[in-house]
Structure 1
Amino acid sequence: MRMNNLNDNPFADQSVISLSELKARIEEMRTVDLQRRRDISSALTNIAKWLNLPETMIPAAMSFIRPAMAKLHPITLNVSPRRIQNVRSLLMQAFRLAGLSTKLAPYQAKMNQDWSVLWGLIAGDRYARTELSRLFRYCSNQRIAPTDLNDRISAEYLSALEAETLVKNPKRRHQSVCRVWNQCAARYKKEGWPQISLDVPRYDERLYSAGRDLVSDGIKSDLEAFSVHLSGADPFSSIPKPFRPISVKMFDGHLWRYLSALHHTGLDLTQITSFDDLVTRPMFERAMRWFWERNGNATSKHIGEIAWAVRVYAIKYRQADEATVAFYGSSMARLRVKHDGLSPKNQKAMGQFSDITSIRLFVNLPQKLWNLGAAIRPNVEQGRKRKEALILIQAAVAIEILIFAPVRLKNLTSIRLDTHMSWRDGRLHLNFPLDEVKNSVPLDFTLPAETSARVQRYIKDWRSLFLPNTNPFLFPGREGKSKDQSLLGKQIKKAVFDHSGLTLTPHQFRHTAAKLLLDAKPGHYEVVRKVLGHK
């Protein structure tokens, strides 16, 4: 067995072999069929090529490979989806042959008798079988009986998922497995399903909000007064130029995040009577260190915004001495993230449009999504048109509007048929008054005839498939409201990636519009300014 250098990645565990070493070990296995060795070798070569890294720099660890491969798309790689699936399968085979995957059994592996009995009970439940299949085979392979399953084994199963699979989100999958197991235990109790309840873990480690009951009334009163000060609601205690409601809400959110950070440092906020006591230098440093360490010992745009909100309260709203002003000034220089031009994230996103192929994929995406949705529509399930079709059609309309009217997601979500939309000569006009736009610049767009016709068909045939026609929003939600802004944003981002291979958020459509326009018409900055509604 070869034991030379394991991997050349300075950021990876040096005890883990590289993809290059894995390939060499597979090639030396004379007990493995020659064609199979060649197929595996080709797959490992492809992975390195797709990740644009030398094989020696890629650790043979799922923790490294899984997130990297999740970003790959057959369109951008110019390969078929089947080829990617085959490469994934061959990678798993390589792991098993090299002894890197020993706990999870292959998908085709048989279950033992005890687990087969439970498998038979859920024969008609496709979802349950999908979720529990890997767990059943894992336990069979580890000689664990159904009656022996417990939270410790469940945790070990998660570890195996993370170490030995390319499952997109192991923690979410594990969470679902525990939930489905418990549901089956209740549903098939009489049939003999083991009455074992698994703890359904919560993997929301990024959530840190502290409840209002953990904060004193004095602090809450101070924050409410500050919001009034910013909003202009009180003519005698407000700033001369009031903030917009969305900005007031943003400040309030940042200050509550600041409170939550202090809570997680162990500070009892019920014993502190004023928010003023929490904006001192020691308290500010305490909260910011918590954010800093949580973010991997680095600041971020989000952290900088929280710090700025605290500074506004401490310096602008309250009386502050020179030392405090100087302290906050130096802190902002360290904590606030500043970029000349686009941020690295947005630069990377715009880099996708450096070739004509990506641009064509982008501009043709609405038509592609529409065609896919329309093809699904004839299929009905229990007399109802499939929601998958509506999701595709809705994404097509949203994306096409953003291409020709690159508004912010909030404005896109808020489009009402009776307020923002008008029709002249068969073309749709979108108008957003200044009080609804972030920087108080009114926006007006006239969409092309073909796009307008597609929006009309969406309104007539699709918009109200699952919600009342009385809902006034172009993208309707429940209880007469618009569709949730976050949900529509995720829907757009997913549709873009799934069907074009491009990674783009709704807000980045604005940057894309500017890039494509300036690439086609260099120097037309005034046009870009007007299209985006910049001052």
Structure 2
Amino acid sequence: MECSYLNARLFKASSAMHGLEDASFDNLVYKLRDVFRLFGRYPPDLPLSGNLTPPWQALYRLLSRERQKGLIAFFGYCDQQNLLPTEVKQKVLDDFVTWTAEKTLHRDPVGRGRRAASNWEWARQHIESWPDIPLVRSGMREEYTLPFTAYPSSFQDDVEAFLDRYACRTKEEIFPDKVTDPTYKSFRSRRRPLSPRSVETRRYQIRQAAAALVAEGVPIESITNLNDLVQPVERVRTILLFHRSRVEERQRRQEELEQPAGAEVLVPSSNARSTFQDIRTSNLAGIGEALRQIAQFHCCVSEDDLALMKEWISQIKPPQQTSMTEKNTNRLRAFLDTQIYPQIIHYPASLMHRSSASELKPQAAARLALYAVAFEILTVCPLRRGNLAGLRLKQHVRRAKPDGPITHLHLRAEEVKNRKAIDWPLPPESVELIQRYLDQHRCHLAEPGNLFLFPGKGQRGRSGHDLGVGLTERFERDIGVSFNTHAMRHLAVVRFLIKHPGKYEIVRRILGHSRVETTLAFYSGPEMDRAIALLADVIRNDRREFGPPALSPPKKPRTKRGDN
């Protein structure tokens, strides 16, 4: 009988994944609220706009309809707490998110707080009479990291100089004066520059490291260059411990959220997983690796300090993944279910058909068609999410002649993670679906001059994250099983192997793996499921063919003396 307990379970999956229609699920949640009210365990409803006190009503009237929607719940909460607009502060927003998560049934408490903060900040910057009180978006990275502009300019310059070497943006990196410099050799040993996305990842890891020192009491004005992150070497340990503690705290909160209210906390056994020593994540390892490279190649620290850093990083680096994760394996098995798989392969056509409904507004129909095309490409050409979102007309969507039909997708080697070009012919039904989207729907989503297949605002395309979230939410709601875009790569490969067992070399080329052993390690498991099923079929057919042997009457069991 705790809202936090139900929130962690009710809204973790879509309505369809609970076996319910959206309306039935919403009705269930509505009735659950009534049950909580009967037991006196649900707070009073927040006041609506017409019931706000005058100070809050005055602010509310300054907003557009959409921004009113984003702030009405926060306004009602503050008003219910007898706060004035000038008394709002960061803790009030954090308390609002906690109250939503623990005292109410709500799908996304953190998102509710984030929307409130975003709309509040917009109003603070655009409405002169708005209270000049900043609110940070609850649950986002900016809660502890600081923008680079908060640090001395010398630190900012040093960061850019370091990242320029990663990207090989300077003429010295392309046309060096000498190649005997060990730092040059180390940086150039990768034989190619890092991709822009990888450079941005390194940039943010540096930002995370610097923020950890500031949070642990190092004066921000004393961080004047990258050497101040790694010297003295104890600072590296301070950074890693700070971020490791954050991971531990997140895990602890998640466990508490999933623990039934009032349940006895069991003492872990001696062989249970420890809470701190075994915390190893790729994010922690990435921060550590960024610091090691700064220390070794940019600051040239001593060998002893470098060895110490490597030892610390080894304690936070997760084991190398050599096979498909259990989560992806379970997701893939759900995809291969005889009732689910047909829905998946016909899903793009189903979405496109739904886009033709007369009651839909043009933009709503266009969004359905956009997702139909995205799913179709994932189904017949298993691209990574970033490449899918970045597809451009003419550049990637190719035709044999300007006015001819679409023939294939083409991505240059430098655009692909494994640096292997993609030149993928498209089947006629895929071409027809894409062309229908281009002819009838894309114009309702793209501004003039936008060349992205999946356009965003202005001249940009949709981000990989936004496209992935949209695809996941729609798929899970309609199909009723867990989804992510990368799972479609797994599905395509496994279905191929089921039809063509042992053809790992072809799969290796499709996925761009450098070694066939990698392909074998990741995809032999699902293929083995099929092999075991075939073996069961062989045994079943043999039993039918040969029939059971003649059975003699069962013998009467012997009894021992004294038995009754």
TM-score tier, shorter chain, comes to: 0.7 to 0.9
Displacement after TM superposition at 1:160 (Å): 4.5
Specify whether residues 349 and 332 from structure 1 end up closer, same or farther in structure 2 by C-alpha distance, changes over 3 A only: farther
Specify whether residues 252 and 164 from structure 1 end up closer, same or farther in structure 2 by C-alpha distance, changes over 3 A only: closer
2:461 to 479, 482, 488: 482
Confirm or deny: 8 A CA contact 1:147 1:196 kept in the other structure. no
Once the two structures are superposed, residues 295-342 of structure 1 have per-residue CA deviations (whole angstroms, 9 ceiling, x without a partner) of 125331111112112222323555444423432332232111123313
* Corresponding residue number in structure 2 for 1:262: 213
* Corresponding residue number in structure 2 for 1:371: 353
Specify whether residues 167 and 432 from structure 1 end up closer, same or farther in structure 2 by C-alpha distance, changes over 3 A only: same
Confirm or deny: 8 A CA contact 1:258 1:306 kept in the other structure. yes
Give 2:141's aligned amino acid.
R
**Separation of aligned partners in 1, 2:161 and 2:69:** 53
Matched, 1:341 2:317: no
Specify whether residues 352 and 460 from structure 1 end up closer, same or farther in structure 2 by C-alpha distance, changes over 3 A only: same
Matched, 1:392 2:368: yes
Specify whether residues 430 and 275 from structure 1 end up closer, same or farther in structure 2 by C-alpha distance, changes over 3 A only: same
* Corresponding residue number in structure 2 for 1:459: 438
Matched, 1:220 2:156: yes
* Corresponding residue number in structure 2 for 1:313: 294
1:69 to 4, 7, 10: 10
1:405 to 381, 387, 402: 381
Confirm or deny: 8 A CA contact 2:397 2:410 kept in the other structure. yes
1:287 to 239, 242, 251: 239
**Separation of aligned partners in 2, 1:516 and 1:171:** 38
**Separation of aligned partners in 2, 1:319 and 1:145:** 58
TM-score w.r.t. the length of structure 1 is: 0.72
**Separation of aligned partners in 1, 2:310 and 2:41:** 52
Matched, 1:329 2:329: no
**Separation of aligned partners in 2, 1:147 and 1:274:** 43
Matched, 1:517 2:496: yes
Specify whether residues 213 and 518 from structure 1 end up closer, same or farther in structure 2 by C-alpha distance, changes over 3 A only: same
Q: Bigger radius of gyration, 1 or 2?
A: 2
2:476 to 474, 479, 497: 497
* Corresponding residue number in structure 2 for 1:104: 44
Where 1:392 maps in the other structure, the secondary structure is helix
Matched, 1:423 2:386: no
**Separation of aligned partners in 2, 1:358 and 1:177:** 38
Matched, 1:169 2:108: yes
Q: Which runs of 5+ in 1 are unaligned?
A: 1-59, 185-194
* Corresponding residue number in structure 2 for 1:211: 147
Give 1:104's aligned amino acid.
P
**Separation of aligned partners in 2, 1:397 and 1:530:** 24
Where 2:408 maps in the other structure, the secondary structure is strand
Matched, 1:302 2:283: yes
Matched, 1:527 2:506: yes
Displacement after TM superposition at 1:80 (Å): 2.7
**Separation of aligned partners in 1, 2:13 and 2:157:** 50
Number of aligned residues: 457
Q: How does 1:75-86 map to 2 (within 5 A)?
A: 75-86=16-27
Confirm or deny: 8 A CA contact 1:427 1:448 kept in the other structure. no
Displacement after TM superposition at 1:285 (Å): 0.5
Give 1:474's aligned amino acid.
L
Confirm or deny: 8 A CA contact 1:428 1:452 kept in the other structure. yes
Give 1:480's aligned amino acid.
Q
**Separation of aligned partners in 2, 1:196 and 1:252:** 34
TM-score w.r.t. the length of structure 2 is: 0.69
Confirm or deny: 8 A CA contact 2:209 2:229 kept in the other structure. no
Where 1:71 maps in the other structure, the secondary structure is coil
Once the two structures are superposed, residues 228-266 of structure 1 have per-residue CA deviations (whole angstroms, 9 ceiling, x without a partner) of 433234524462544434144433332233223223323
**Separation of aligned partners in 1, 2:432 and 2:462:** 22
Specify whether residues 437 and 72 from structure 1 end up closer, same or farther in structure 2 by C-alpha distance, changes over 3 A only: closer
Q: Which runs of 5+ in 2 are unaligned?
A: 124-128, 179-183, 249-275, 515-564
Matched, 1:95 2:36: yes
Specify whether residues 173 and 439 from structure 1 end up closer, same or farther in structure 2 by C-alpha distance, changes over 3 A only: closer
Q: Which has the higher contact order (CA 8 A, sep 6+)?
A: 2
Displacement after TM superposition at 1:527 (Å): 2.3
Confirm or deny: 8 A CA contact 1:417 1:473 kept in the other structure. yes
Matched, 1:414 2:390: yes
**Separation of aligned partners in 1, 2:122 and 2:190:** 56
Where 2:444 maps in the other structure, the secondary structure is coil
RMSD over aligned Cα atoms: 4.2
Give 1:467's aligned amino acid.
A
Percent of aligned pairs with the same residue? Answer: 23
**Separation of aligned partners in 1, 2:461 and 2:114:** 30
Where 2:478 maps in the other structure, the secondary structure is helix
